[in-house]
Chain A
């Protein structure tokens, strides 16, 4: 069971998408796992042939537990299959013993019923099918929903998981905070002009411009982009930009836009749109939940001007954007009405110092004055 984020302790295997004897290659989606943040498609990180599916669908499995075994083609020896996904953060040796052993005979579940279970906060590992075909139906899910206490629903579990990760962050990471008011009048005008040339479907949200600017600014301050693992900072050459996405009915995920350093504004936008859609429908992939090297959160839509974030471990920085506001601003020796956004940086003092953090924010400001070059 891969760790799909610092706040995950266990996941329920929903279904296998491979069979024993099937050939798989790195990056293939092999299973669907239900987490507190919705259903996630788990990718495999090695080429090979599926040997045995160790865990039955419906089982709640702790992080680090072996889900399936794999052997390389032409070899008989089996090795844990989905282990490499979680290896850097959760060694198999430290995994607690499996907590749900007796669920082997539990039934399969229809996709519609699984969605309903997610909506209602029903733990599908505790469901049994009522019909003879052994498949859990929507009716089974709704029946179970009547029986669960409101306090143990999925949202509460998700809050708890986020709380645990944030407590770890505040306990271990010496945060420092910097902020900068950035005049984005020109960038907004440029984007409005660009969007008049685009069809409805291709229009770009300003968030995509901000994300692109962050990715480019990080080239100048690589000490903000990477992970803090085993008492040291491991910088990342790729910028995998975690984006905070609010889920309906509460909750939050921060899946990554992979290789944002190589993606222009339109491509950032299409990736973002895809991530938002899949975050809310439950189709994120494991790599998207584990690969982020920095996170950006945009709380402007909630109406606040400034975000003081909490770093998502093991990352070392979080960039926040607040609401765009019109302000009297001194420019060219005159007071003008300009659109201003507050950018904040919250960073890990073990990995960077305030001086470098300040350089990042000034680079961000400079880049946003020339959006056409992003």
Chain B
């Protein structure tokens, strides 16, 4: 997956978790939690959604690396499985 595809996957799963979020104004370097008003429960749901979509099992200790949109894209670019069966 290239970065554009990863970005799309991230935004689509996020908008399922936080449907009321203002995605048009999302600043890619600012924390997602603050901008989308997501709590730890929503974050966990997001991890589940990413697992289902990309087949990636993100350990809890790596959660801080998905704090912003850009850092999440970077993280997935390195860790996401190359392709889905």
Contact = CB atoms under 8 A, between A and B. Distances in A.
A97 interface: no
A207 B41 CA distance: 10
Given A200-B48, A248-B18, A301 B40 contact: yes
A200 B51 contact: yes
Interface in A251-305: 272-273, 276, 301
B27 interface: no
Contacts of B4: none
Given A248-B18, A248-B20, A249-B20, A199 B41 contact: no
Contacts, number: 35
A195 interface: yes
Nearest to B18: A248
Nearest to A246: B39
Contact of A192 (B19, B37, B58, B60): B60
B76 to A, nearest CB: 14
B6 to A, nearest CB: 18
A207 B40 contact: yes
B61 interface: yes
B11 interface: no
B12 interface: no
How many chain B residues sit at the interface, stated as a range, is 10 to 19
B47 interface: yes
A272 B41 CA distance: 9
A192 B61 contact: yes
A205 B58 contact: no
B44 interface: yes
B18 A196 contact: no
A201 B37 CA distance: 21
Contacts of A249: 20
Nearest to B37: A248
B64 interface: no
A360 to B, nearest CB: 25
A195 B62 CA distance: 13
Nearest to A247: B20
A26 B59 CA distance: 43
Contact of B41 (A192, A200, A201, A205): A205
A273 B47 CA distance: 14
Given A195-B60, A301-B39, A203 B44 contact: yes
A194 to B, nearest CB: 10
Q: A200, A203, A272 — which one has the most chain B CB atoms within 10 A of its CB?
A: A200
Contacts of A199: 51, 57
Given A200-B57, A301-B39, A205 B20 contact: no
Nearest to B61: A192
B45 to A, nearest CB: 8
Contacts of A195: 60
Contacts of B37: 248
Nearest to B50: A200
A199 B60 CA distance: 10
Contacts of A201: 48, 51
A200 B18 contact: no
Interface string B42-77: 001001100100000111110000000000000000
A254 to B, nearest CB: 15
Those 3 A-B pairs whose CB atoms lie nearest each other, nearest first = A200-B51, A248-B20, A301-B39
Interface of B: 18-20, 37, 39-41, 44, 47-48, 51, 57-61
Given A199-B57, A200-B58, A246-B39, 18 more contacts: A195-B60, A196-B59, A196-B60, A199-B51, A200-B44, A200-B47, A200-B57, A201-B48, A205-B40, A205-B41, A207-B40, A207-B41, A248-B19, A272-B41, A273-B44, A276-B41, A301-B39, A301-B40
10 contacts: A192-B60, A196-B59, A199-B57, A200-B44, A200-B48, A203-B44, A203-B60, A205-B41, A248-B20, A276-B41
